[in-house]
Amino acid sequence: MSRLELRDVQKDFSGVKVLQGIDLRGGAGEVLAVVGANGAGKSTLIKILSGALPMSAGQMWMDGAQVDLRSPHDAHDLGIRTVYQEMSLVPELSVTENLLMGAFPVRFGMIDWGAAHAQAEDVLHRVGFGSIHPRTKAKRLSVARQQMVEIAKALVSEPRVLVLDEPSAVLAGSDLEALFALVRQLRERGVLVIYVSHRLAEVLDLATSIVVIKDGQVIETTEPAKTSEQELIRLMAGRRLEQIYPERRGAPGDVLFAVDALGRPGQFADISFRLRAGEVVGLFGLVGSGRSELARCIFGAEPAESGFSSPAEAIRAGLALVTEDRARSGLVLGMTVRDNISMTTWRSNDWSPLIDAQSQKRDVARMVEQLDIRPAHCASMQAVHLSGGNQQKVVLAKWLLTGPRVLLLDEPTRGVDMATRVDIYRTIDALARQGLAILLISSDLTEVIGATDRILVMNQGRITGELRSAHATEDQVLTLAIKGASGMS
């Protein structure tokens, strides 16, 4: 008997079919992976499983009984927990408050904070994330650590079905291993884990079965032993991707941007590097290394000991920053694609203080075509309705419209399928060949080696080494990333 089964599940929005008859089943103690290109319907499927969206047609069964999810509360009552790719933590609350919200231990009619913090600490240790302090405010955590708290939150009460949406997208090193160990532990405890990921190597390693979705339909159900990364990519994209990364570029040009002995107390210190025209420089570091904090300080979004005083000053100097969290700091999800793309370049006619609508439409149409943002006629759509990969392209388009000379990309392919990744890599390569200097910050070792010309590695707030990408190995990069923590010299 299946723990969870979907039969002919359909979903349409205003007459447009997004899911066209999804059938899948998973048993207790299984890891059911769901893969598909951006826009395939995975996000809609996840929302149906969580009770956030009603299905237009079809049936859902749990343990042999048909169920009707009308709300997330119904899903919770059935033991279904969902960890979304986009964070839902309350930034001003502590880790403990976010973990135990609605279920605090009470003593004499009041919250027993000592017991609450102890319970939160126990949960974090139990799921392998014990390095997170329960009293820390969520907003003080890196995106990776916020992701860990999101996962721990779903496991405070024992779920029967756990849906993980791109859980590893911002994790690396020991944090990634802790996630994999947790998934295997849940499987041993009889939990059905529905694992949605674009990282196909880990899908093949963790899953007991794999469902491939394309255009709202299941086109293949297979097992890891019977398929490969290349075959999954072919099924997802409808074509083979013979080459993931562009050819290596020639020698870079003049220095366009320099950082000298930059520091911010408690986060990083003595950071120095150069970015040259036509060069893509990778920046790799494990969680807590200070890589994202460095990017925000360079851009003037956070204060540092020197440098730009504000993002406006950085933009005037020719910098642009694509942040790691597109939903919170890259997009205004309730605004249209047109307004999101043009917000950094809104301008008026000479004779009117109003926005020049014709220029705005023309610029946005050009960027939608250049970056192949889908659907093609998406300018009037709210950004929230786009897939994750197309949202990322909108963020990139917004900054390219400013005409930057230096582009800072923080996790630009987070939660993006392989076909869309290839599009982004080709865009990065084209921009470098046009003379831009690019800093690519990534927790993906394969990406940071394959898509760059040289690599800077950070550990505990300092740059611990530099490698030429063409000759670097993953072992070399990881050794530099853990060098300070391991006491190596």
Q: Which domains does the chain have, with CATH numbers?
A: 4-237 (3.40.50.300), 255-486 (3.40.50.300)
Strands 80-83 and 437-441: unpaired
- Residue tagged 């447009």 (tokens): 16
Mean pLDDT of 206-223: 95
The answer to whether 197 and 2 have CB atoms below 8 angstroms apart is no
For 61-71, how does the pLDDT look when each residue is reduced to its tens digit (9 = 90+)?
A: 999 999 999 99
The amino acid present at 476, given as its one-letter code, is Q
The pLDDT value recorded for residue 171 is 84
State pLDDT tens for residues 455-478: 999 998 999 999 999 999 998 998
Whether the bond into 375 is cis, omega within 30 of 0: yes
Q: What are the distances in angstroms from CA 447 to CA 144, 279, 412, 442, 469?
A: 18, 15, 10, 7, 10
Average pLDDT over residues 190-218: 94
CA distance 440 to 448: 7
- Residue 467 near residue 477 (C-beta atoms within 8 A): yes
DSSP structure class, residue 326? I
The pLDDT of residue 421: 87
109 burial type by CB count under 10 A (0-12 exposed, 13-18 middle, 19+ buried): exposed
The token pair at 10 is 């359909």
Rounded to a whole number of angstroms, the distance between the first and last alpha carbons of the chain is 56
Is residue 51 within 8 A of residue 72, CB to CB? The reply is yes
d(CA 482, CA 475): 11
CA distance 276 to 450: 18
β-pair partners for 194: 32, 163
* Spatial contact of 34 and 213, defined as CB atoms under 8 Å apart: yes
User: How confident is the model over 194-215, as a mean pLDDT?
Assistant: 94
Please give the helix or strand (H or E) that residue 33 lies within, else none.
strand 31-35
Residue among 387, 389, 404 nearest 311 (CA): 404
Lowest mean pLDDT among 160-164, 387-391, 422-426, 432-436: 387-391
Mean pLDDT of 376-401: 90
pLDDT tens by residue, 281-337: 999 998 778 999 999 999 999 998 888 999 999 999 999 999 988 888 899 999 999
Mean pLDDT of the chain: 91
* Mean pLDDT, range 68-89, rounded to an integer: 93
Instruction: Report which residue type is found at 157.
Output: S
- Report, as an integer, the average pLDDT of 414-438: 91
Taking only the tens place, the pLDDT of each residue in 345-376 is 875 445 455 667 888 899 999 999 999 998 88
pLDDT exceeds 90 at position 239: no
By percentage, how much of the chain surpasses pLDDT 70? 96
Give the SS3 label for residue 269. Answer: strand
Identify the three-state secondary structure at position 121: helix
Least confident piece of the model among 37-51, 262-276, 446-460, 472-486:
472-486
